[in-house]
Amino acid sequence: MYPINSFCGVFLFFCVLILSTVIRRRRERRLANPKNLPYPPGPKPLPILGNLFDLARDNEAATYYQLAEQFGDLFFLSVFGQNVLVVNSFQTANELFEKRSANYSDRGRSTMVHELMGWEWSFAHMRYGENWRAHRKIFHQQFQQSVAPTYWPLQIKEAHSLLRRLLRAPQDLTVHMRHTASSIVMSVIYGISIAPQNDPYVNMSEKALDGMTKAANPGAFLVDLVPLLLIYYSAWFPGAGFQRKAYEWKKACLEMRDAPFDYVHRALKSGRASSCFVTNAISNLDTKEPQPKSLDIIRQCAGVAYAAGAESTMSTLTTFILAIVTNPEVQVKAQKELDRVIGHRRLPEFSDRPSLPYINAIVKEVLRWNPVAPLGLPHMVTNDDEYKGYFIPAGTIVVGNSWRILHDPLLYQEPHKFNPDRFLNTAEGLQFSPVDPLSVSFGYGRRVCPGRYMAEAQVWISIACMLSVFDITPGTDINGEKMTFEPAFSSGMICHPLPFPYRIQARGEFATALIDQTEDIAA
């Protein structure tokens, strides 16, 4: 045990440290704002602590939605001198992230995420600059819109595998969705087929991504707001659990990045590797003997592709099931369209897409109704800026409030209702144009998700196939009565539906036969 006097002395030291940090940052802000412009509106800060208690640590979407209703298009928070700007309207997001993208494309450095958890290698978290551009170039070459169709055969295969798993064990929905999402990404990125259960690659990635979803939002850990705490915070001090958590998360993070890449690299040298993102990227290098730096860039691009793709696809497909359970009329309309266009003779294919506008609309509405990343990854302002008479200091963390934008009643009538009809006039394909508000479901400006075309294609084929052969209905209790519930979602950077009662069964003998036939094709 430590003496009381020692504990009080350490506590007093931290108070002085925080106070000095606040004073220094306020002095820097005054020097940078010669016009003495006001900051954007926001809740009134407390002395020293600022808006510490206004930062959401759970239920982020609802918390920032309420603040957006109170303060409008954007609101401003400051905690220990660190500024956070939350953007709540599509117009403002387009103005800052698109039209001023050179100044709003940077990332802040998170002590927890970068230094303690080891994510500094991820180009999604990199500072905006030449190193980021080198990573982005590799990613763009392999996942641009014109290349996306090359992945369709593999995506169809994984969609069929999902049908078989749901037919045989419909009660294991979460397991199947995670397996499908992980399987397609591992196949595309590394050419690796994962085990049906307890795959080591999947297990290590789940642990790494669990840490990321908990740590990525501003203010999730105090050490991000006062980085010097890392130097002076002893592991025994109350609240120092962040160090122990970070150690475990870092270990999983680096294993997720390195283990599958090393496997493929060894297979490539021995001539046993199959075509995939990693082998294609290495083959595209100018030299026969790749330099370590080039291999590191490919390794890191592959790791972030898996991290982003697996978790987001799982969330989106589970959200689709929840939406159908709570809106049975959507399923009826979708199955009528599928039966009219395809009938009961085969499963949907990508070539059917132009003839299935309602299925396209469902995909759009799933992305809108519950965006995978309600707040996305925060950007950072590179240089001081002025917007509508407000001063936005350099170094300000800028958060796109995607959930609020996609539930803006000025853009979407009855925004909390799941209604694919709203997209029927624009549902033929998804171009993700920056002028379309739905584009924010994949990020903002130059930091938009580069794998969005492949990801959306996997969601489309999976949804079309599931609706063609399954009836998805609410779960029932022991008396056979339909169970009622309110849709609910997890907190964190990646948002998942919380468990809900459902029932999945084949639409008839034709559906069972079609699903069984996919096993023969796969073999």
With contact defined as beta carbons under 8 Å apart, do 330 and 362 qualify? Answer: yes
Q: Tell me which range, 160-169, 189-198, 447-456, 512-521, is most confidently predicted by mean pLDDT.
A: 160-169
Token reading at 305:
């592709």
Q: Note the pLDDT tens digit of each residue in 302-351.
A: 998 887 888 899 999 999 999 999 999 999 999 999 999 999 999 999 99
Confidence band for 274, pLDDT divided at 50, 70 and 90? confident
Question: Does residue 222 carry a pLDDT above 80?
Answer: no
The whole-angstrom separation of Cα 202 and Cα 478 is 35
Q: Which helix (H) or strand (E) holds 478?
A: none
| CB 104 within 8 Å of CB 392 | no
Report for 193-207, 216-230, 346-360: range of highest mean pLDDT: 346-360
Q: Which residue has the higher pLDDT, 27 or 189?
A: 189
Q: Is residue 286 scored above 80 in pLDDT? A: no
pTM for the model stands at 0.89
Q: Answer whether residue 521 shows pLDDT above 80.
A: no
118/112 Cα distance (integer angstroms): 9
Q: Looking at the predicted structure, is the pLDDT value of residue 352 above 90?
A: yes
d(CA 450, CA 223): 30
Question: Which of 294, 293, 203, 335 is closest to 256 using CA atoms?
Answer: 203
Would you state the pLDDT for residue 38?
94
pLDDT at 215: 72
Per-residue pLDDT band at 478 (split at 50, 70, 90): confident
Is residue 217 a contact partner of residue 165, using CB atoms and an 8 Å limit? no
**Mean pLDDT taken over the chain:** 87
**Quick one: average pLDDT of 366-392?**
94
Mean pLDDT value across residues 128-152:
91
Longest CA pairwise span in the chain (Å): 79
Q: Which residue has the higher pLDDT, 358 or 227?
A: 358
pLDDT, residue 285, reads 84
Q: Mean pLDDT over residues 72-89, rounded?
A: 94
Judged against a pLDDT cut of 60, whether residue 236 lies above it is answered with: no
* pLDDT beyond 90 at 10: no
Phi first, then psi: give them for residue 158, nearest 5 degrees: -70, -35
Q: Does residue 376 come out as left (phi exceeding 0), alpha (psi in the -120 to 50 range) or beta?
A: left
Lowest-confidence region among 115-119, 159-163, 208-212, 508-512: 208-212
Task: State mean pLDDT over 42-59.
Answer: 88
> What are the residues whose beta carbons fall under 8 Å from the beta carbon of 220, sequence distance 6 or more?
57, 112, 214
Write out the H or E segment, with its range, that includes residue 85. Answer: strand 82-87
What is residue 318's predicted lDDT score, i.e. its pLDDT? 97
The two structure tokens encoding residue 381? 């302002």
Residue closest to 40 by CA, chosen among 86, 89, 94, 93: 86
**pLDDT(7) > 60:** no
pLDDT of residue 4: 43
- Residue 233 above 60 pLDDT? no
User: Any binding-site annotation on 276?
Assistant: no
* Domains along the sequence of the chain with CATH: 4-522 (1.10.630.10)
